[in-house]
Structure 1
């Protein structure tokens, strides 16, 4: 398994990966319809990533099995903080890939001078909460009715780690 920066040539495979990930998980913020719209512009998005916003992919051979999206502010008072998200395909879970993506995010952050990483997790996503707590992320608050799932709302934990 390799973790590397996404490339424009990955656009089609990344779209296929992300569409599958969205179908497998209720906890991602994109719907399948929104993912299809995003797919049309994915190569342009990849080309626009810079030192403040990156996507990395976890690959096994030519197959994308996971990703890390991470971004930080350009503002001098906020550039020490980054927000990130990770996702791993169901058939590749429980193999340590998410652990490696989190470690990769923390190393990226240190290299960029970031001292704080933040993530939000839906409060009933117990496996994700356990994963981040295993990596010493702390619950700092609850965002009430933060996510809409069809006709119901869900709260999110705001989690962070000072690195």
Structure 2
């Protein structure tokens, strides 16, 4: 599937189709029950002879056909429901990724490839500040110029984590 197809995908349409198959399965079950229990039973009580036996036998075959339709439509409905559920989750992830790319100034092309903006000014840094119980930690994210894709350099200015007494901090 290409990106345009994934973006246009409407998983709820598959769920609606699953509901249609389930309704068909229910109708086939009702027809199977009616043929097998009501019509055939009434014929056995009221009719006798070879013609009646042949008709009852044909009704039994018709009942098997309705049972087959019931089973197959139930299976198709379940498969469509599962597909709809899985595609809904994937579509949400795709939409979130596309929104993140747009927010990050990236371009997502029709073939799904990502275009990065041209390298920016080295002096334009982004500073994120995290607050943990009023202890400040800041991380400077520096976009390095002339790198395609741009690379991020992370420098921790101060941390919120307190090393327990007696333990050493490993540097890497």
TM bucket by the smaller chain? under 0.3
- TM-score scaled to structure 1, two decimals? 0.22
Structure (1 or 2) with the greater strand fraction: 1
Structure (1 or 2) with the greater helix fraction: 2
